[in-house]
Chains A and B, each alone.
Chain A
Amino acid sequence: MARLTDANVVVAKEIIARFPRPKSALIPLLHLAQEQDGFLANDAMAHVAELVGVTAAEVYGTATFYEMFKFERVGRYCLNVCTGISCHLMGAWELLEHAEELLGVKAGSTTEDLLFTIEGVECIAACTEAPAVSVNHRYRYRVTPEDMDRLIDDLRHDRLGGEFPAHGVLARVRQRTPDNWAGTGAAAQQAVDAR
């Protein structure tokens, strides 16, 4: 897939300029790349590496450390069930299986309607509220199978309003970019919707 678009290179350079060292802009730029393609394409990661002056392997190592970055196309909602040690003890695997049954796909895959991707993930740092689940980085705590039923049903029928933006919308990175930039704000949401 693609390198960053010219418009996104402009945004990237602006972001890099905010940091004392270009390398520090790595994560925001990966978000930008993910917004552009819906996931991190190899070419985009290599491009980010060039922009911040590190090797592609370093970008890849950093990107794969975080659950929030995807390396292939995912659904509108990324449902992450934590299977870290605390959640594991509190029934995470049963919860994940339950979600698999509900959606009819295995962990790591995406429903045919491109609405959901489910994944078991390493600890998401909510161990005191285990088992924890996150959807596009919005958390749900002490989740029971019944909670899961309701959550999936609500998301499917779009009943949760703006609480769960589509995967890839860059609330944080975009915060301080001027509104008239390509792919910004509402335009970004549209771009995501259009994917």
Chain B
Amino acid sequence: MSDVKTDAPADAAPEPPKKTTLSITVDGRAHEAQPGQLVIDACEDAGTYVPRFCYHHRMNPVGMCRQCLVEVEGPRGPMMVVSCMTPVAEGQVVRTETPGVKRAQEGVLEMLLANHPLDCPVCDKGGECPLQDQAFSHGPGESRYVEEKRHYEKPIPISDLVLLDRERCILCDRCTRFADEVAGDKLIHFISRGNATQVNTFPDEPFASYFSGNTVQICPVGALTATPYRFKARPWDLTQVESTCTTCAVGCRIVVQGSRDQLLRYQGVDSDPVNWGWLCDRGRFNFEAVNSDQRLGTPLVREQGELRPTGWSEALARAAQLIREAVDAGGPGSVAVLGGARGTNEDAFAWARLAHDVIGTPHVSAQLGDGMPVGLLALNRATIDEAASASTIVLLGPDLKEELPVLYLRLRDAAEKRRSRILEFTPKPGGMTRYAWKSIGYEPGTQVGAVHAALANDEIAQQLGAGNVVIVAGRANLAETSAAQVAALGELLAAVPGAKVLPALRRGNVVGAVQLGMRPGKDGMDSRAALAAAADGTVECLILVGSDPLSDVPDADLARRAMAGARRIIAVDALPSPSTALADVVLAAAAFAEKSGTTTNLEGRVTTVGQKVTARHTARPDWMIAAQLAAALGTDLGLESEADVLAAMAELNDSYAEISAAALAAAPDGVLAHVPTTLDPINPPTVAVPDRNSYDFRLVVSRKLYDAAVGTAHSPSLAHLAGGATIHIHPADLDRVGAADGDSVKVTSKRASGVFQATSDTTVLRGTAWVPFNQPGGTVGELIDATAPVTDIRIENL
């Protein structure tokens, strides 16, 4: 059509502006619809809800259930059409309430219910079930079906987390489409045909998708149920509050639901700029950790070597005393504050005030030697939407599927729908590799060269020059310092000056924490340096704000020496960890959903988190602990309520100047904080990386979605999903060391040596070896030296 000529005379009067909408009529009312829209959505915009089962606006329509039939005026009179498959057209006349439509809707419902067990009283979905609701609103009320119904064994597990009652399934294709289109994990499928059709997996190959819980949420009947929620509550007993998942930095919008002061479920909320309604299973199901009986409910103080419960006044006095002793002995710089990324903005802000202004130490860090220099957050920041609509998305960071799962969904969608091309640089091919336009594997430490070579390639240079470029940047490997990664990023930014950067930092509120001051002050040490100083005794007092160096810091020996060297340790936490076990004072913190406030996701979007349940025993929010500790140290921070903290944040921090309760209430998708102007952008260092001896392997260590992190470890439904810490090696390399899959091998780095089980893995690059970090029983941290640019290891067959 593009070459059709219009013969408008050259000097014609300027045309009136083109109408960009399509005029349609819905049940006699005029409505302007968007071009390309489906009739079902246009009707909804016009105020008429058309009943539906299979249609879901985040997935392709399939016309599977026929519940959405409406009449559209056609050349030969009214026609019955499937409104989820029919696009709007200029002048279209749609009727949704005619006797014909009513009969069709009743007919479809009668047919769907013919094979349905109608076991609503024992079905988890009852009370929030589209089938139940629409049977009432649009059904015939009677069934003519008197024959025997189908029977299946019920329920069958299709994964560790999802159960399927096949007789309830109405074959709407939502779960299967989700698995295919949205998650890219085509592990469930329609099996068989006709009356025997059912959803199922391949025998003995479960629906082990990181996103499986979404199918439970979108199933329009009770066919899919989640094991952590099944038979726990009835929907009408639940109350809910809107919130944001802070398990990782994507910041998916959720509702937190509970009953009788207990958390029962999180459901995804469709936030257009962020998660589109989807959640990962880790974020969805780790509410169990909040309910855990291991929770710290009261403060603890160490007495004669043992931690014993105590009241807040004693605990705060002890903590204040420890801080004063350290300051008296070595000045404010002998205190270091690590953490703050697991809490709210309010928590981080109050702790930053306490650390910098009250204690006066510059040694503050929200990252634990596993992140990036804070200058990353001073770069020209991209939003998720900008990344997902860029012509080129450059990945120079962690495996997004493992670390920022819903960001992976958004970017995968961009690649699959051909909006964007993904150019990936990675030391270990991962979840996004199969969707990448080009995936460039590099050996750790050589990323600068890899970027350099790529930029010299005409095709890549042309692609990068052709449109918007967003670089998703973060730490891809914990067995090397961030130096080479930063240098590679610098190289890219120099070549593509207009590129925007989306920080791929993982911890829930790490961006908020850094922006609100949980970062090194003038001459302050980052966490690696601070831990080293603790190890040699120059830092006397370590304050751990929701951080666990013994699990989180890649260099295990450094963490251990720091915890042993620090004479005074104060831990603020909601759950016990190896590090709280060594603390002198443990201050019991309120967990997620036990406090309200705000959080900042990786793009800088500030959204609310809501309180659903009362905090465990006397546990309290981190910000309140900071304020009380400040008071015990003789300073009134003037923070009495969470609202005070929010107001102070807006007043004292330029990035948050426009954030207020009113602004957030008016913007359910949140408000973008400004990129901080007080931070210096990263400074690409020059890196000297030693060559690898050809007998050695270069180590890659990165995170998996399920690991030994506290939230996962204390969620019984998730804990067992963490795999083992085996060492993955390319089969040809495995041959070279004379070992086979499953053998035990001896792994030696400059630091230490240990025995690992070997896994043959074709995705691992030749000459490298990969071990997942922080797995139950894993010891890979022993091999890592936090100061070494890379970690080379020797692998020997035992």
Contacts and interface: CB of A to CB of B under 8 A. Distances in A.
Contact of B186 (A57, A65, A122): A57
A84 B193 CA distance: 11
A155 interface: no
Nearest to B202: A56
Given A42-B203, A46-B202, A60-B203, A54 B194 contact: no
B201 interface: yes
A60 B203 CA distance: 9
A61 B194 contact: no
B187 A55 contact: yes
B193 A57 contact: no
Interface string B171-207: 0000000000000001111111111100011111100
Interface in A46-89: 46, 54-61, 64-66, 84
A60 to B, nearest CB: 5
Interface string B193-223: 1111000111111000000000000000000
A123 interface: yes
B73 to A, nearest CB: 33
Given A42-B204, A46-B202, A57 B188 contact: yes
B196 A122 contact: yes
A122 B202 contact: no
A194 to B, nearest CB: 27
Contact of A64 (B186, B192, B195, B201): B192
Contact of A122 (B191, B195, B201, B205): B195
Nearest to A62: B189
A169 interface: no
B194 A122 contact: yes
A69 B770 CA distance: 41
Contacts of A122: 193-196
Contacts of A64: 191-193
A145 B286 CA distance: 62
Interface in B98-156: none
A45 interface: yes
A44 to B, nearest CB: 12
B195 A57 contact: no
Contact of B202 (A59, A65, A84, A123): A59
A191 B121 CA distance: 55
Nearest to B204: A42
Interface residues of B, number: 17
B194 A123 contact: yes
Nearest to B180: A58
Interface string A104-127: 000000000000000000110000
Interface string A16-60: 000000000000000000000000001001100000001111111
B204 A61 contact: no
A21 B775 CA distance: 40
Which among A54, A58, A66 has the highest number of chain B CB atoms within 10 Å?
A58
Contacts of B194: 84, 122-123
Which among B187, B189, B194, B203 has the highest number of chain A CB atoms within 10 Å?
B189
Contacts of B192: 64-65
Given A65-B192, A122-B196, A57 B204 contact: no
B734 to A, nearest CB: 20
Nearest to B185: A55
A118 B190 CA distance: 24
A42 B204 CA distance: 9
Contacts of A45: 202
Contacts of B189: 55, 57-58, 60-61
Nearest to A123: B194
Which among B187, B193, B200 has the highest number of chain A CB atoms within 10 Å?
B193
A57 B189 CA distance: 6
Which among B186, B188, B190, B202 has the highest number of chain A CB atoms within 10 Å?
B202
A65 B186 CA distance: 17
A56 B205 contact: yes
B186 A58 contact: yes
A42 B202 CA distance: 8
A3 to B, nearest CB: 15
A49 B166 CA distance: 25
Contacts of A65: 190, 192-193
Contact of B190 (A61, A66, A84): A61
B203 A61 contact: no
Contacts of A58: 186, 189
A14 to B, nearest CB: 25
A60 B204 CA distance: 12
Contacts of A123: 194
A124 to B, nearest CB: 11
B201 to A, nearest CB: 6
B202 A55 contact: yes
A61 B205 CA distance: 13
A66 B186 CA distance: 20
A57 B203 CA distance: 8
Which among A56, A61, A65 has the highest number of chain B CB atoms within 10 Å?
A61
Contacts of A54: 186
Contacts of A42: 202-204
A175 B194 CA distance: 31
A153 to B, nearest CB: 31
A122 B197 CA distance: 11
B704 to A, nearest CB: 21
A45 B201 CA distance: 13
Contacts of A60: 189, 191, 200, 202-203
B196 A57 contact: no
Contacts of A46: 202, 205
Nearest to A67: B193
Nearest to A63: B191
Nearest to B187: A57
B211 to A, nearest CB: 15
Given A45-B202, A122-B196, A61 B191 contact: yes
A56 B203 CA distance: 9
Contacts of B202: 42, 45-46, 55-57, 59-60
Interface in B479-496: none
A65 B205 CA distance: 19
A139 to B, nearest CB: 18
A12 B700 CA distance: 37
A42 B192 CA distance: 15
A132 to B, nearest CB: 15
Contacts of B190: 61, 65
A109 to B, nearest CB: 17
A181 B493 CA distance: 57
A84 B188 CA distance: 26
A64 B195 CA distance: 13
Interface string B62-83: 0000000000000000000000
A46 B194 CA distance: 24
A54 B179 CA distance: 13
B186 to A, nearest CB: 4
A5 B191 CA distance: 26
B210 to A, nearest CB: 15
Nearest to B196: A122
B392 to A, nearest CB: 26
Nearest to B190: A61
Interface in B592-616: none
Nearest to A65: B193
Interface in B362-419: none
Contacts of A56: 202, 205
Nearest to B199: A61
The 3 lowest CB-CB distance pairs between A and B, nearest first, are: A61-B189, A122-B194, A56-B202
14 contacts: A42-B202, A54-B186, A55-B187, A55-B189, A57-B201, A58-B189, A59-B202, A60-B189, A60-B200, A61-B189, A64-B192, A65-B190, A122-B195, A123-B194
Interface of A: 42, 45-46, 54-61, 64-66, 84, 122-123
Given A55-B186, A64-B193, A84-B194, 16 more contacts: A42-B202, A42-B204, A45-B202, A54-B186, A55-B187, A55-B189, A56-B202, A57-B189, A59-B202, A60-B189, A60-B202, A61-B191, A65-B190, A65-B193, A122-B193, A122-B196
